[in-house]
Structure 1
Amino acid sequence: MNDSSNNANSKVTRKVSVAVIGAGTAGQNAFRQALKTTKNIVIINEGYWTTTCVAVGCMPSKLLIAAANRAHTSKYSEEFGIHSEVKINGKQVMARVQAERSHFESFVEKQVESWPADKKIDGRAYINKEGLIEVNDEIIEADKIIVATGSTPFVPDGWSDKLGETLITSDSVFDLSDLPDSMAVVGTGSVGLELAQAFSRLGVGVTSFNRENRVAGLIDNDINAKAIDCLSGDLTFNLGSKITEVGTKVDESDKLVAFIKYTDKDGEEGQWQGDYVLAATGRRNTIKSLGVENLGVELDDDNRPKNLDINTGQIGDLEVYVVGDANAHIPLLHVASDEGFSSGSMVCDKNTDAYIRPPSVPFSIVFSEPQIVNVGKTIPEIEQDPELEYVIGEVSFDNQGRSRVMGVNCGLLHIYGCKKTDSILGASMVGPDAEYIGHILANAITNNITVKKLLDAPFYHPTILEGLRSALRDVQHKMSIPYQSHDAQEDSF
């Protein structure tokens, strides 16, 4: 990574073929893959040696959601003639979240413990002006570098000082020892929405704030409106609001509480106060603090290298690969895993058989109830191509047979179909079993399965997946009748 003639100021203590910086999902996959072909490798990590998913992301959030859904089902079964009194033990809820999280972490830790001790360095890495890696008391010269430093929660400027211990993030919320009485969740992206609904269903008084009148980043206006409608039964939304001030004060019972002053969507001023403010305002990568500019790397406004190849993670012609959340591309575990595996293959001396990750079909799931899914292209992306003729097939789940039987009948699915090719361009949905419908549509787009071919597949009755068939039939019908709309028929039952 450097010209040895420039190394006069730094005494190299170790030379390696590959240095992996960061031991999350991407870093661990990269290390394991590269280790198959070279033993001259190190992995450097600061903090916990597990993953964002296991420690503060996917798994603890789903544990909380599982508890919340149990509580919700128990409390709201009167329509089925089932009446019960539900008592929620907040300490027990959080203890299970933490215990199961530790269980998942133990599997990752066991894997890390099996790695040779001399190949693991616990400390903060920095790339100096000579292109060498400084960590603890070592100066490491690496032929190739894989950057997998992950991301941290973004907190608006000044909030940490003003809110103090009343401020929590997705990195700290799962360490609560008990459920609070009240909470403001700022941000209605996937993390904010999932946590807000889960805490609300567990008896916490939750108010959700967002600058836009949107949830889950939904771009399809009809799906967004339906999602807000379906979720409003659990949540108090303050959408389209602008937060003007945050801070703490002592309330009438001499308790320190957080407060938020805001202007709502109608221009009216308001104030919220409660136990905690959960900042769910996104995550940011930490690559800027690594010193990559000393390699001649320029970063854009998202701290992403400007000449980054998103298919390989490689920066231009440098033997530097940025993968996982560090590249600010698609911050999802399965993407990080693929990128780590790919980079671990690319750095091998004989990488002709290296797995290079192809551009994947955009696919996101929000594990709220009902779930929210986006697959493939969005409407704005489709409309950027003036030659592209498309139709929108839809189905409501409000009267869909199995959904009504289960008492989960709130939802809407839009499928964007291409008239010329009979293919699926994308879809957006809020509704029951959306994760499964999303997988089917993502596979169809990936494998170029046409609408007709999907409709030739079996749809068992009575299932929620029959709603997908109704939407596909609506796509097919609208393709055959130009300039006319058609309301999808509900399933037979």
Structure 2
Amino acid sequence: MSKSTEQTADNVADNRDNNKITRKVSVAVIGAGTAGQNAFRQASKINKDIIIINDGFWTTTCVTVGCMPSKLLIAAAERANDAKYSEEFGIHSDVTINGKQVMARVQAERSHFESFIEKQVESWPDDKKIAGTAHINADGLIEVNDELIKANKIIIATGSSPFIPDGWSDKLGETLLTSDSVFDLADLPVSMAVIGTGSVGLELAQAFTRLGVAVTVFNRENRVAGLKDTDINAKAIDCLSNDLTLNLKSTINDLGTHIDSDDKLSAFIEYTDKDGNDHRWEGERVLVATGRRNNIKSLGVENLGVELDDKNRPQNLDIHTGQIGELEVYIVGDANAHIPLLHVASDEGYSAGSIVCNQNTDAYIRPPAIPFSIVFTSPQIVNVGMTQQQIEEDPELEYVIGKVSFDNQGRSRIMGVNCGLLHIYGCKQTDKVLGASMVGPDAEYIGHILATAITNDICVKQLLDTPFYHPTILEGLRTALRDVQHKMAIPYQALDTQEDGF
């Protein structure tokens, strides 16, 4: 809070029965996910009177219901897919998938990852940890359990939760799954509908499909992974359709449950397809993957002077530190709905924890990360830097698109993963990479190289001056960079018309 706000809180507190305030602390961290834990560790280096309040598990979204269990499921799916579909290499096998064993490994390995975070939390002093639901009252004081806490500075890192459209929970009942519950399944379902084609929906839909579940995917737009580049979106749909049954541009008219012919509870979805025809899907489970929403609405942040927009996003947010205007309030990680990714949450938590320290003149504030997202499907989908839409909306930018198809790229074809397309958006004025969008093999590594180039202002010529080993999938990156340079008419070397030197 600002000095004036802090003085007001002091005056209010002085006018109250001081015995009702159970603690006065320099810093209170609300939420113990990735951002909150980083903020707490950093701020604890200098502030001794600091507390962290948490409602729910003391691990992180990533470890418990996000990145790690989903990748464990994907790893099992990739093993199954490779074993089942290797005939083109002359390898034939009969594959049996034990769903209970698949899910048991997911849960066991998840517990292994959780144990490292739990040990870290256990090492913190007990008097600095409060398990409970925090609420900020009209006086700007934190109410939790039977305590009333006055904090000079507050870091809010309450994370996010799966968004479920109104009424769907009641209609779907026990058949409903979200990313918070799907990894607790004891066995693989026979059939599943997945609603939503963001990263969560696509990754889980493909993984369950490859593990033998009959999966049908629904999305109201003709778009996957939020792709803004029309050609990349079309290619991604083409590649993913090899595995997935995609009902894109479909409208869900109704959904619910009924007792099927085997006297079991079953789900149904009544929908209209892209051609205007009505259909009915029936199956065992419905995974709702319609995005996540930040957990901030009921916290009472307005009592600290924080303003939220109609989507509960805090206004006047400093993306370097998470600070809200001049208030001594910092909202970090998924709670601020800025870029809801783990590496961003980690950096924001670190920065907020550093800046709230009393001796913060030399505080190290991590620079805001450039936009960078990876969808771990096969092929992978990557966006880095500016989107094509953002570039086109800036009249000052002149750009070209360097392209490469992975359909006939040497190493990709050798490995049987040759479906993909990369677009690199190059700036004609600066010879720098503005952004890129891609679906293809090894996209996570290509994305990292381009993210490093954008972050460090490395130009296209410098990228091309580095070696590209043959034969690798990364040679496709070189082809796209050469196409950028050729289209910008910057003399360097003749464009190699023979793909990857083979």
Instruction: Return the TM-score normalized by structure 1.
Output: 0.98
Determine if the alignment matches structure 1 residue 177 to structure 2 residue 186: yes
2:12 is aligned with 1:3: no
Please give the per-residue CA displacement for 1:252-283, whole angstroms capped at 9, x wherever unaligned: 22221001111111111111110111000000
Shift of 1:357: 2.6
Give the AA of the match of 2:187.
D
Measure, in 2, the Cα distance between the counterparts of 1:280 and 1:430: 21
Secondary structure, aligned partner of 1:16 = strand
Measured against aligned partners, the alpha-carbon deviations of 1:55-104 in whole angstroms (never above 9, x if no partner) come to: 00000000000000000000000000000000000000000000000000
1:5: how far off? 2.6
Give the aligned residue type for 1:376. G
Shift, 1:9, TM fit: 4.6
Q: Give deviations 1:95-129, integer Å, cap 9, x for gaps.
A: 00000000000000000000000000000000000
Q: Which residue of 1 aligns with 2:113?
A: 104
Question: Match of 2:361, SS?
Answer: coil
1:395 aligns with 2:404: yes
Cα distance in 1 for residues equivalent to 2:202 and 2:310: 26
**Would the aligned equivalents of 1:25 and 1:336 in 2 still touch at CA under 8 Å?**
yes
| Counterpart contact for 1:470–1:488, Cα < 8 Å | no
Pairwise CA distance, 1:3: 2.5
Candidates 165, 168, 174, aligned match of 1:156: 165
- 1:34 alignment partner, one of 40, 43, 52: 43
Tell me if structure 2 keeps the 8 A contact 1:393–1:488: no
Give the superposition deviation at 1:408. 0.5
Q: Which of 435, 440, 446 is matched with 1:437 structurally?
A: 446
Alignment-mate amino acid for residue 5 of structure 1: N
How far apart are the structure 2 equivalents of 1:337 and 1:247? Answer: 39
1-side partners of 2:298 and 2:366: how far apart?
A: 27
* SS at structure 2 position matched to 1:17: strand
Is the Cα–Cα contact under 8 Å of residues 308 and 316 in structure 1 kept in the other structure?
yes
Give, in angstroms, the shift of residue 487 of structure 1.
Answer: 11
Q: Which amino acid aligns with 1:6?
A: V
Give 2:57's match in structure 1, choosing from 48, 53, 56: 48
Cα distance per residue 1:328-377 (max 9 Å; x no partner): 01111111110000000010011111122323211100000000000111
1:304 corresponds to 2:313: yes
Cα distance in 1, alignment partners of residues 237 and 114 from structure 2: 35
Map 1:18-167 onto structure 2 (within 5 A): 18-167=27-176
Kept in 2: contact 1:153–1:281 (CA 8 A): yes
Seq. identity, % = 79
In structure 2, what is the Cα distance between the partners aligned to 1:442 and 1:489? 27
1:422 and 2:431 aligned: yes
Provide structure 2 residue ranges, at least 5 long, that are not aligned to the other structure.
1-5
Match of 1:200 in 2: 209
SS in 1 for 2:266: strand
Tell me what 2:3 maps to: none
Other-structure match for 1:267: 276
Partner in structure 1 of residue 237 of structure 2: 228
| Cα distance in 2 for residues equivalent to 1:387 and 1:312 | 29
Matched residues in 2 for 1:359 and 1:112: separation? 27
The C-alpha deviation readout for 1:271-310, integer Å capped at 9, x for no partner, is 1110111000000011111101112221012212212212
- Judge which range, 347-356 or 1-10, deviates more: 1-10
Alignment match of 1:447 (pick from 444, 456, 475): 456
CA contact (8 A) 2:386 2:434 kept: yes
Contact 1:362 1:375 in 2 (8 A): yes
Distance 2:404 2:9 in 1: 62
CA contact (8 A) 1:395 1:488 kept: no
Question: How far, CA to CA, are the matches of 2:439 and 2:9 in structure 1?
Answer: 55
1:489 positional shift: 5.2
Give the superposition deviation at 1:492. 2.1
Q: Secondary structure at the match of 1:3?
A: helix
Question: Residue 65 of structure 2 aligns to which amino acid in structure 1?
Answer: V
1:470 to 479, 482, 485: 479
Distance 1:212 1:492 in 2: 40
Q: What is the identity, as a one-letter code, of the residue corresponding to 1:174?
A: F
In 2 relative to 1, CA 416–285 (structure 1 residues): closer, same or farther, beyond 3 Å? same
| 1:364/1:375 contact within 8 Å kept | yes
Residues matched between the structures, number: 490
Deviations 1:409-468 (A, max 9, x none): 110000111112111111000000000000000101111111111111000000000000
> The residue matched to 1:392 in structure 2 has which SS?
strand
In 2, Cα distance between the equivalents of 1:70 and 1:478?
A: 41
User: What amino acid maps onto 2:75 in structure 1?
Assistant: A
TM, length-normalised to structure 2:
0.96
Distance in structure 2 (CA, Å) of the matches to 1:488 and 1:413 = 17
Residues 127 and 290 of structure 1 are in contact (CA less than 8 Å); yes or no, is this contact kept in structure 2? Answer: yes
Amino acid at match of 1:26: A
Q: 1:344 maps to what in 2?
A: 353
Is 1:190–1:216's contact at 8 Å kept on the other side of the alignment? yes
Partner of 2:258: 249
Say which SS state the counterpart of residue 192 (structure 1) adopts.
helix
* SS state at 2:500 partner: coil
Specify the code of the residue in structure 2 equivalent to 1:203.
G
| Contact 2:137-2:303 at 8 Å conserved across structures | yes
In the aligned structure 2, how far is the partner of 1:361 from the partner of 1:308? 16
Q: Distance in 1 between matches of 2:89 and 2:372?
A: 35
Q: What SS class does the counterpart of residue 429 from structure 2 fall into?
A: coil
Aligned residue in 1 for 2:467: 458
Runs ≥4 residues deviating over 2 A: 1-5, 7-10, 486-490
What SS does the corresponding residue of 1:152 show, helix, strand or coil?
A: strand
- Residue identity opposite 2:43 in structure 1: A
SS at match of 2:424: strand
2:406 and 2:412 in contact (8 A); partners too: yes
Instruction: Report deviation, 1:490.
Output: 2.4
* Contact 1:474–1:488 (Cα < 8 Å) also in 2: no
Aligned equivalents of 1:191, 1:3: Cα separation in 2: 42
